[in-house]
Amino acid sequence: MNKITVYILLCFALMLTSSCATTPQTAPDAAQDSLDNVVSSVDAQLMSFISSAPEGAMQYFAHSDLGDDVTIVAGRAYTSALGAKCREALAARTGLRPKRFAICLDESKGVWRPAPIIFTGGSE
């Protein structure tokens, strides 16, 4: 190999190793995962608060399906496209991004169930 080829290979190797060394390796945060999975798991105590609290009311929960030290803010009430009575809410934990979610009333069983928020109404 000539000197130019060796030089190019060395430069390429240096660039490759330096970019690997500076790329942060982040492990998934279990606490954030618990808020990201909020739609599939909300306990009865949280459901009760969200379904009955006035809009803007806040409640702290030391222990819940969302993890420890969670503050819930009750959001607006609305009717889903299928005609179900629903409520939005916000779950917040110190140091993590707040997570919006919704619950809807299953009138046939008389229970509130987690529901996805499909449209945000123009503001996030």
Between CA 124 and CA 47, with CA 81 as vertex, the angle to 5 degrees is 65
DSSP 27-89: ---HHHHHHHTGGG---HHHHHHHHHSPTT-EEEEEEETTEEEEEEEEEEEEE-TTS-EEEEE
Which residues have CB under 8 Å from 107's CB, separation 6+? 84, 85
pLDDT tens-digit readout, 50-100: 999 999 999 999 888 878 899 999 999 999 988 999 999 999 988 888 988
pLDDT tens-digit readout, 25-36: 444 444 445 555
pLDDT of residue 39: 46
pLDDT of residue 41: 56
pLDDT tens-digit readout, 7-30: 555 544 445 444 444 444 444 444
Q: How would you label 64-82 residue by residue, b for 16+ Cβ within 10 Å and e otherwise?
A: bbbbeebebbbbeeeeeee
5 has a pLDDT exceeding 70: no
Say how far apart CA 93 and CA 70 lie, in whole Å: 5
